[in-house]
Structure 1
Amino acid sequence: MQTIATVAELRRTLAKARSADQRVGFVPTMGYLHDGHLALIAASQGQCDVTVVSIFVNPTQFGPNEDLSTYPRDFLRDEGMAVDLNLPIEIVTVPTVREQDGLAMSSRNRYLSKEERQRALTINRGLSAALDEFRSGERNVERLIAIAKGHLEAVDRLQYLELVDGDTLNTADSPLRRPAALCAAAYVGSTRLIDNVILASPTP
């Protein structure tokens, strides 16, 4: 393992890898690593010759008494940039790593009270209910979203619940004929949580 502290040093290291025609994987994090991050790192190591893991928390992002989770984010827009800008990268997905109770693993989970954690579990329940209906043959986008949303009344604020094409991340159309991702972001208390499930027919 090599620890790199500057952009210039990283560029020099990656230039050597690329000149040797090596594939480079990148796993961005803000530290406080957990098993979810480790799963991403393992996936990159399995598919790439070199894996770069960033551990960077930018202090200029925070004002007094502000927490990272209060900052606006748009997961769909950020991942979609790779497609829109034709960046020479491939986005590789891996199954969401979950805690024993089903909550998607995140460093933010530690902010949840016992009562809030119980309410947070409804996010996964809603997504799972939609996945079950998909596996039973439901292909209507609006109905699948409605099924998931019906379980999310316990959250304090639903930021988004969207069903998008698995490749383009554009809004999926009915009936579903391609793999899709059902993505949710919601606040429980002051904690912003995200989760998703992949809706795809089994490969023959």
Structure 2
Amino acid sequence: MAKSFRQCETILDLRQLVAAARANGQRIALVPTMGYLHEGHLALVEAASREADFVVVSIFVNPLQFGANEDLSSYPRDLARDLRLLAETGQCDVAFTPEVAEMYPRPMATTVQLPDMAAKLCGKTRPGHFAGVATVVSKLFHIVAPDVACFGQKDGQQLAIIRRMVADLNMPIEIVSVPTVREADGLAKSSRNVYLSPEERDHATILYRTLSWAREQIANGNRDGKAIASGMRERIAADPIARLDYAEVVSLADLESIDVIEGDVMLAVAAYFGKARLIDNLQLNV
């Protein structure tokens, strides 16, 4: 049966709605997003509806996670479309759509930081990004107090950092990871794909093709992390459009580069195609 869908813009109103649901014995799920929803986000909503009775989706473009020269002002937004998509799923109870002043009514004196994990991969070129992510997710967790929260595997470093934050701070929240949703040719769904020209879009598939090559190498018995990372870098660098940011083989638990591939690992890549910076990864148990 389709849910009764509501939009909520204030923390007080959201807390009242969640409290009423909890008083009725309902399990609460949170799906944090920055909006401009696509099939990947909707897969998170679907997963949340399987995990809980009452689903909250937040739509908030968080200024804390954007650097001075990044795309905060131009980040794609279409709230009316997002609300329509959520209502059409029949799986979302509340869309939480706060203004910046609602989330940050005063300059933040408190932040959540995981400096070692945040300095790796994307953090090498986006200093402060993951402090912004961890801080806003912590705020959302305190506002909603969900039983479960759903995150996409595409943002693999973010997922690892959120898992560690929850563990370190003893937050009573189950973190559910949802597989990456891809286009037919393997390109990961991303709000930033809208930045791609047709030519850039064609070349952007080099990321998934590179990850697939690395996965095949591992499946065939190659356990040399450095050699596979080097091979991934060579493949992306050889593309005439791509500008390589990184290609690494890391431990999923702490994001450290590994020499011998075993246990839970992540193959992680990032590159620029025009002005769009795209990331992707595959997570494997070896």
Q: Is the structural similarity TM-score above 0.5?
A: yes
TM-score by length of 1: 0.81
Partner of 1:151: 235
Q: Secondary structure at the match of 1:92?
A: strand
Q: CA deviation at 1:66?
A: 6.2
Q: Could you list the per-position Cα deviations for residues 3-60 of structure 1 after superposition, in whole angstroms to 9, with x for gaps in the alignment?
A: 2211112222223444556432221222221111111111111122322111223579
154, 178, 184: which is aligned to 1:100?
184
Partner of 2:282: 197
Query: What is the CA–CA distance in structure 2 between the aligned matches of 1:165 and 1:134, rounded to whole Å?
Result: 14
Partner of 1:50: 54
Query: What is the CA–CA distance in structure 1 between the aligned matches of 2:58 and 2:211, rounded to whole Å?
Result: 30
Q: Equivalences for 1:1-204 in 2 at 5 Å?
A: 1-19=5-23, 22-57=26-61, 67-68=71-72, 72=126, 73-74=129-130, 76=157, 79-84=160-165, 85-86=168-169, 87-153=171-237, 154=239, 156-166=242-252, 168-201=253-286
Q: Could you list the per-position Cα deviations for residues 96-127 of structure 1 after superposition, in whole angstroms to 9, with x for gaps in the alignment?
A: 11112221111221211122112211111111
Give the percent of matched residue pairs that are identical in Structure 1 and Structure 2.
Answer: 44
Query: What is the CA–CA distance in structure 2 between the aligned matches of 1:163 and 1:20, rounded to whole Å?
Result: 46
RMSD (Å) for aligned C-alpha atoms: 3.1
Query: What is the CA–CA distance in structure 2 between the aligned matches of 1:95 and 1:104, rounded to whole Å?
Result: 10
Query: What is the CA–CA distance in structure 2 between the aligned matches of 1:8 and 1:169, rounded to whole Å?
Result: 36
Change (3 A) 1:195 1:6: same
| Maintained 8 Å contact 2:224/2:260 | yes
TM-score by length of 2: 0.60
Gaps of 5+ in 1: none
| Maintained 8 Å contact 2:268/2:280 | yes
Amino acid at match of 2:217: E
| Maintained 8 Å contact 1:126/1:150 | no
Q: Secondary structure at the match of 1:101?
A: coil
How many correspondences in the alignment?
200
Query: What is the CA–CA distance in structure 2 between the aligned matches of 1:200 and 1:59, rounded to whole Å?
Result: 35
Q: CA deviation at 1:179?
A: 1.9
